[in-house]
């Protein structure tokens, strides 16, 4: 099966230094989509150390379908999770007997895959008599700058992932206000759909970014949806349609045409995020005064062009731009373990009675932007 990546930086030395520590030593499990990820993290809020961060990607299983097939993902997670967890402990130089807490993503995400990771985590915790911590995948992404950079509260976040696109005011542990969000597609979904349309592989984000490097961003004048509308809500559906129409108009597509469409598309996303993140920073200031930083998190935050655009906005606004390293942008277990560390320290940890759910908004008080219904708001 696909790629396995390990973070092995000085794990043995860190493990040795750890022996005297009384901070939580957390096994973090992430299976909300197509990454089977387990990590070991130790520390406290704003000062935690990643001892291992193992990600077993399944992209090759889903590539033939152009997107993640939930049942295939769930079956693959149940085949690999034990080995991935063992590898995370081995790389960390940690024995399971030393672990103090087990954390797993309980939502939002694909139900079958979520159930595999959460059930595995609960079983390990129960067998070892450890506390289990249920983690929100979105909160884990939002807290990742505190893990990588020790970013201080309060800070503004552009959460850009395969299933989400929203601006969030991160005010303190467990306190998040949505400043704006997508009214249709997620940011990563726009990249993935553009890639699929152009015959590029799944996941589309990295493919589009790669193709765009050789492209002319000024060739296609794609729209910047909702740019003229007040506030910082986002929309990517119209952009997707514009890409489809351009591709149909230009077909048959040469590699250069594909590169030009990718560059123009990415440029449109960068322009829209520039306008909207500036407004999000203004909304943040109205709500909570100046933020300590503008952070970009989630898989799409791996994109260099988008990072530069957001960094430019932060600079113009007089704040710092923060983006976690690539290993912490895509789905990973370290952010899940770290989220548990924050929740435990704040006395806000949710335990094994927490229901695994496909929908779990970060700001439960905010009105649903889309997908309200029986299972709750999608975003």
Residues that bind ligand KG4 (CB under 6 A): 33, 161-163, 188, 191-192, 203-206, 209, 298-300, 302-303, 330-331
Which partner, ligand KG4, Zn ion, none, binds residue 267 by CB below 5 to 8 Å per kind? none
Kindly indicate which of the ranges 110-118, 193-201, 227-235, 324-332 contains the residues binding Zn ion, using the contact rule CB under 5 A.
324-332
> Which secondary structure element, helix H or strand E, spans residue 87, and what is its range?
helix 70-92
Q: How far apart are the first and last CA of the chain?
A: 32
| Euclidean distance between CA atoms 279 and 274, whole angstroms | 9
Which partner, ligand KG4, Zn ion, none, binds residue 303 by CB below 5 to 8 Å per kind? ligand KG4
Which partner, Zn ion, ligand KG4, none, binds residue 154 by CB below 5 to 8 Å per kind? none
166 lies in the binding site for Zn ion (CB under 5 A): no
CB of 337 to Zn ion, least distance (A): 15
161 lies in the binding site for Zn ion (CB under 5 A): yes
Which partner, Zn ion, ligand KG4, none, binds residue 188 by CB below 5 to 8 Å per kind? ligand KG4
331 lies in the binding site for Zn ion (CB under 5 A): yes
Nearest to 234 by CA among 173, 270, 284, 276: 276
Pick 24 or 162: Cβ nearer ligand KG4:
162
Pick 242 or 335: Cβ nearer Zn ion:
335
| Euclidean distance between CA atoms 290 and 142, whole angstroms | 18
Tell me the backbone φ, ψ of residue 179, rounded to 5 degrees. -90, -30
Tell me the backbone φ, ψ of residue 111, rounded to 5 degrees. -60, -50
CB of 137 to ligand KG4, least distance (A): 6
| Euclidean distance between CA atoms 21 and 7, whole angstroms | 21
Q: Which residues within the stretch 248-307 sit at the binding site for Zn ion (CB under 5 A)?
A: none
Tokens of 27: 């096994």
| Euclidean distance between CA atoms 244 and 247, whole angstroms | 5
Pick 256 or 304: Cβ nearer ligand KG4:
304
The CA R_g of the chain, rounded to the nearest whole Å, is 20
CB of 122 to Zn ion, least distance (A): 21
Site string for Zn ion, 107-146 (x = CB under 5 A): ----------------------------------------
**Helices and strands: H and E segment counts in the chain:** 12, 11
Long-range contacts of 18-22 (CB under 8 A, 24+ apart): 18/42, 18/49, 18/51, 18/94
CB of 33 to ligand KG4, least distance (A): 5
- Positive or negative, the CA dihedral 125, 354, 58, 167 is negative
Pick 11 or 187: Cβ nearer ligand KG4:
187
Pick 191 or 317: Cβ nearer ligand KG4:
191
Pick 40 or 328: Cβ nearer Zn ion:
328
Pick 260 or 331: Cβ nearer Zn ion:
331
Strands 101-107 and 131-136: what pairing?
A: parallel
Using CB under 5 A as the criterion, which residues of the chain lie in contact with Zn ion when the complex forms? 161, 331
């Amino acid at each position: 099966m696909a790629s396995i990546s390990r973070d092995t930086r000085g794990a043995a030395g860190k493990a040795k230094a750890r022996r005297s520590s009384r901070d939580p030593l957390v096994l973090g499990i992430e299976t909300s989509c197509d990454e089977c990820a387990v990590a070991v993290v130790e520390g406290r809020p704003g000062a935690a150390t990643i001892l291992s961060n193992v990600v077993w990607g399944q992209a090759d299983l889903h590539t033939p379908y152009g997107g993640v097939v939930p049942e295939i993902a769930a079956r693959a997670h149940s085949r690999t999770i034990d080995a991935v967890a063992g590898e995370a402990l081995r790389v960390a130089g940690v024995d399971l007997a030393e672990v103090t807490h087990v954390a797993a993503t309980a939502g939002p995400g694909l139900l079958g895959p979520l159930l595999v990771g959460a059930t595995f985590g609960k079983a390990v915790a129960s067998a070892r008599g450890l506390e289990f911590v249920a983690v929100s995948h979105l909160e884990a992404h939002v807290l990742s700058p505190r893990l990588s950079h020790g970013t201080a509260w309060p800070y503004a976040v552009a959460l850009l992932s395969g299933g989400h696109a929203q601006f969030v005011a991160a005010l303190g542990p467990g306190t998040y206000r949505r400043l704006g969000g997508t009214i249709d597609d997620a940011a990563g979904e726009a990249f993935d759909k553009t890639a699929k349309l152009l015959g590029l592989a799944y996941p589309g984000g990295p493919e589009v970014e790669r193709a765009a490097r050789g492209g002319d961003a000024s060739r296609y004048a794609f729209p910047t949806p909702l740019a003229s509308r007040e506030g910082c809500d986002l929309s990517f559906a119209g952009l997707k349609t514009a890409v489809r129409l351009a591709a149909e108009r230009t077909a048959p597509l040469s590699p250069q045409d594909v590169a030009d469409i990718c560059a123009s598309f990415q440029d449109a996303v960068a322009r829209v995020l520039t306008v909207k993140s500036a407004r999000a920073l203004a909304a943040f200031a109205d709500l909570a005064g100046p933020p300590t930083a503008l952070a970009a998190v989630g898989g799409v935050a791996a994109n260099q062009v988008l990072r530069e655009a957001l960094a430019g906005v932060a600079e113009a606004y007089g704040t710092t731009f923060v983006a976690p390293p690539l290993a912490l942008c895509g789905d990973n277990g370290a952010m899940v373990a770290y989220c548990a560390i924050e929740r435990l320290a704040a006395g806000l940890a949710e335990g094994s009675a927490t229901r695994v759910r496909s929908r779990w908004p970060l700001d439960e008080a905010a009105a649903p932007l889309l997908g309200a219904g029986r299972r709750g708001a999608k975003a």
